[in-house]
Structure 1
Amino acid sequence: MPLTQSAMLSEREFALVNAFQRDFPLLPHPFSTLADMLDTDEATVIGSLQRLQNRGVISRVGAVFRPNAIGASTLAALSVPAERLDEVAAYINALPEVNHNYQREHRYNLWFVATAPSRERLRTVMQEIEGHCDCETLLVLPMLQDYHIDLGFDLAHRTSGREYASAPGLSRDIEALSEAEQGLIAALQDGLPLVARPFEQLGLPEAEAIGTIARWLDRGVIKRFGVIVRHHELGYTANAMAVWDVPDDIADDIGRRIASNGCVTLCYRRMRQLPQWRYNLFCMVHGKDRTEVAASVAALSERCGLAAYPHEVLFSCRRFKQRGAHYAPVPEAAHG
């Protein structure tokens, strides 16, 4: 069995973490269905998931929403003096709109993702960050096209043959949500309750909650629904964001090539912010060590015809915050 950073995974834990990161059963008793597939009982499955969550191996069981489908999101970065990095990172962490916050090896050394219910609210948050942190120009790099957004990890290192790039013609507009749908998103953002009938506890009738989630999956509003792992705790402690400056007219073609390559967890095109940031094509590569990740990026560049384009590889140094995106208000530390 593979090692996590804290402990070994049992055979059953390995199966839960590896096999059910997507295609979670949208049924009244989903954990009973998983139990039948694992030749065990419902209480054992629920108990195993609760222990994995308590150990930090998984963050939740639930939905990964497509960015900008039910709200607005952006990648952003600051160039923070070393002596202020912890202070600024703590401020960023405390913002409820921020779900990921990492130090990376670059002049722009603090990279974070923020989500909000609307573009207007997200713009306000970015203005507040830039004004408060006083760290030169804030990079705000909204996504223009996603080619592969999954962050699932095949711990058995088998190739699934699935294609996760966005379906052609998928709407890029923010969904108009009913009050009931907004309530469902708020209930889902921290994951399903780990109880026998979790869909009963989402603020809608059980059948309506299941039907709405299924519809969002079918339309691509939800990218996947299942066990959401924490990659550091599973031993994927090295990761790099590789970026290229590619002509816009061929970026989609190259992005799809990267997405189909099988060695990236994320791939997308973002806005440039000139003159500070020239790069428009991004991908994330995760691995067990830095050498493995660097080799994967080099091989990817060669296979996808990227060697001629300006690029940089930004390795992650520290993880300050990692959780699922929150599109509804949550109680977090206030800024005074």
Structure 2
Amino acid sequence: MQDLPSPTALPPRSLNALDRCQKQFPLSATPFADMAAMLGDGWTASELMQLLREAQQAGLLSRLGAVFAPNTVGSSTLAALAVAPERLDAVAAYVSSHAEVNHNYQRQHHFNLWFVVTASDVAAVTDVLSRIHLATGLTPLNLPLLREYHIDLGFALDGSTAVRQPQRVPEPIRPDWRQQRLLAALCSGLPLQLRPFTLLATRCGLTEQEVLLQLQDWQAGGVLRRFGAVLRHAELGYRHNAMCVWQIDDAATRETIAWQLAGEPAVTLCYERPARLPYWPYQLFCMIHASDAASLQAALGQIIQRHGLQQYAHAVLPSLKRYTQRGACYGHHA
């Protein structure tokens, strides 16, 4: 992974602005002006947009946009392939060529290619997995989300850890054609211009007010988990991450341990997915991000010790290479 300047090399004023843009970005007609006013400290709309442009060009900012609660406006799954090393780059390129694949990573394991498929419904997700199977001759592990315990897609730039509240799990919605068009238009993120929702509205044939009201409604209902800056963890200095998985067959024990893991500051994601015997016996997943391999190992060791996890079969799958990381695409143009 190429070396990039650490975000801590940014002036504290810029760091604070990026940090707050993750979770406090306003859903308003003039969001950059309103965000600048909220920040104070001499910020203007044009200066804030310039900071976000530079962060995007540096690879730090993935996009400015919507992060939906899992499986509320569409369907998604985590999938994995066991690929012969000499085929890995070619198979990964084919997997990443699907617009529905928004994350695609090489991990250290027999199942060495892990990717997320997101689409408008279960049938569309299944279709992508079928195409990958037919084209590669490899059978994907299909591991849909069964229950989320903690999903935090914002990274604290000041190293702080907020108190964690249980996240609402809203009922799935059935988007109508207008909502489908808005979801499709949101894929590429918000344009960095003074009235960005006007352009977004033009893309999907709605008015600016209709777009804002719909986003505000989704946010109030918990369907829209957050709207704001989506930052890339590696470029933030979290250069090492590992997916840690446990086999805990008793459902009540699994739930108890899952809630304990969800409260750990080092854990950024924690959820349950189905085991696929005999190939994949693990049901409980969590992601740990750290600045270096030693810190990651230390954090994992402490978590295992603290919660008495030594007795359960587990695997650690460090990330080796990022092939794709982009915003999920839900919906389609009518």
Q: TM-score, normalised by structure 1?
A: 0.91
What is the number of residues matched between the two proteins?
A: 322
Match of 2:270 among 264, 267, 273: 267
**Distance in 1 separating the partners of 2:5 and 2:95:** 27
CA distance in 2, matches of 1:278, 1:294: 22
Q: How far apart are the structure 2 equivalents of 1:217 and 1:251?
A: 30
Distance 1:162 1:214, change over 3 A: farther
SS in 1 for 2:90: helix
Match of 2:318 in 1: 315
Deviations 1:186-217 (A, max 9, x none): 12121111111112222232232222112212
8 Å Cα contact 1:5-1:232 kept in structure 2: no
Query: What amino acid is aligned across from residue 5 of structure 1 in structure 2?
Result: L
The 8 Å contact of residues 100 and 118 in structure 2, kept in 1 or not, is answered as yes
Secondary structure of the structure 1 residue equivalent to 2:211: helix
| Map of 1:187 onto structure 2 | 185
Alpha-carbon distance between aligned partners in 2 of 1:291 and 1:17, rounded to the nearest angstrom: 28
**Counterparts of 2:150 and 2:84, CA distance in 1:** 33
Instruction: Give the 3-state SS of the residue equivalent to 2:188 in structure 1.
Output: coil
CA distance in 2, matches of 1:20, 1:305: 38
Q: Which residue of 2 aligns with 1:297?
A: 300
Distance 1:58 1:153 in 2: 12
Which has the higher mean CA deviation after the structures are superposed, 253-262 or 115-124? 253-262
Give the one of 231, 234, 243 matched to 1:232: 234
Provide the residue aligned with 1:205 in structure 2.
207
Which secondary structure state, in structure 1, belongs to the residue aligned with residue 235 of structure 2? helix
Per the TM alignment, residue 10 of structure 1 is displaced from its structure 2 partner at its CA by 3.0
* 8 Å CA contact 1:88, 1:133 repeated in 2: yes
| Contact persistence 1:150–1:224 (CA under 8 A) | no
Partner of 2:85: 82
Letter aligned with residue 197 of structure 2:
F
Aligned position for 2:149 = 147
Following superposition, the deviation at residue 263 of structure 1 comes to 1.5
Aligned Cα root-mean-square deviation (Å): 1.7
Q: Deviations over 1:9-34 (max 9, x none)?
A: 23333122222211211222111122
CA distance in 1 between partners of 2:109 and 2:68 (Å): 29
Matched with 1:244 is: 246
TM-score, normalised to structure 2, is 0.92
Q: Would you say 1:24 and 2:25 are equivalent positions?
A: yes
Distance apart, 1:329 and its partner CA: 5.1
2:200 partner amino acid: L
| Structure-2 residue corresponding to 1:34 | 35
Aligned-pair CA distance for 1:293 = 0.9
For 2:16, the equivalent position in structure 1 comes to 15
Local SS of the residue matching 2:310: coil
Higher alpha-carbon deviation: 95-104 or 297-306 = 297-306
For the 8 Å contact 2:181–2:332, the answer to whether it is kept is no
Q: Is the 8 A contact 1:21 1:228 kept in 2?
A: yes
Match of 1:63 among 59, 66, 76: 66
Q: Which amino acid aligns with 1:87?
A: A
Q: Is residue 74–residue 119 contact of structure 2 (8 Å, CA) maintained in 1? A: yes
Asked if 1 retains the 8 angstrom alpha-carbon contact of 2:74 and 2:331, the reply is no
Aligned partner letter, 2:116: V
- Aligned mates of 1:22, 1:305 — CA distance in 2: 34
Question: For the residues of structure 2 that align with 1:6 and 1:326, how far apart are their CA atoms?
Answer: 30
Tell me the equivalent position of 2:279.
276
- What residue in structure 1 maps to residue 136 of structure 2? 133
Q: Which moved more, 1:122-131 or 1:104-113?
A: 122-131
Could you tell me which runs of 5 or more consecutive residues in structure 2 were left unpaired when the two chains were aligned. none
CA contact (8 A) 1:184 1:209 kept: yes
* 1:202 aligned counterpart, secondary structure: helix
Return the letter of the residue paired with 1:301: I
Partners of 1:287 and 1:138 in 2: CA distance: 28
